[in-house]
Amino acid sequence: MQHSAIVITASDGVAAGVREDDSGSAIAAMLRDAGLEVRGREAVADDRTAIATLLATTCDEEGPSLVAVTGGTGFGPRDVTPEATRDVIEREAPGLAEAMRAVGRRSTPMADLSRAVCGIRGRTLIIDLPGSPRGATESLEAILDVLGHALDLVSGETRHHPPGHGDERDEHGRAPEDNPPM
């Protein structure tokens, strides 16, 4: 199943057209390279209500498998992306955000300043990424190995589990320990 994505950049400068969207471009390229269909890119000002509204509308009306939001995850007074994401998600996916910070720590202690949130709304996974191109790409790279399976699960495809998932079963639903040796 091919999954789709929409990339949203939360940035006053990008939304006003006075700054290039380097992070959004880098994230879109990475998602395409990973096999996702990038159906669009949006820019929104650093405003909690505007971000939350765009997230909800994008998930509910456009129905992508993934919405990747870059920007607004730091400690600055206008960094409100995590709050906007929490306003619209139904379930959090904290392991993804933890993995992104853990990988980022390998190259900079500043990774711990990311307040990124990941979660699910309907059948869409929303991931917050830092606003810098390096932080955004490192964070996305940290979860690319599990992203496809995560999107399958969010979409309702729960029957197939990749190897290493911890639930290896045969065609009859039996785990290896249920099959006595012959």
Strands 118-121 and 124-129, by their bridges, are antiparallel
Range of the domain at 158: 4-178
- pLDDT for 178 beyond 70: no
pLDDT at position 159 is: 78
Q: How far apart (Å, rounded) are the C-alpha atoms in residues 135 and 17?
A: 22
Q: Read off the CATH number of the domain in which 138 is found.
A: 3.40.980.10
Q: How far apart (Å, rounded) are the C-alpha atoms in residues 154 and 55?
A: 16
- pLDDT for 180 beyond 60: no
Count structural domains, the chain: 1
- pLDDT for 168 beyond 70: no
pLDDT band with cut points at 50, 70 and 90 for residue 172: low
pTM over 0.85: yes
pLDDT at position 32 is: 98
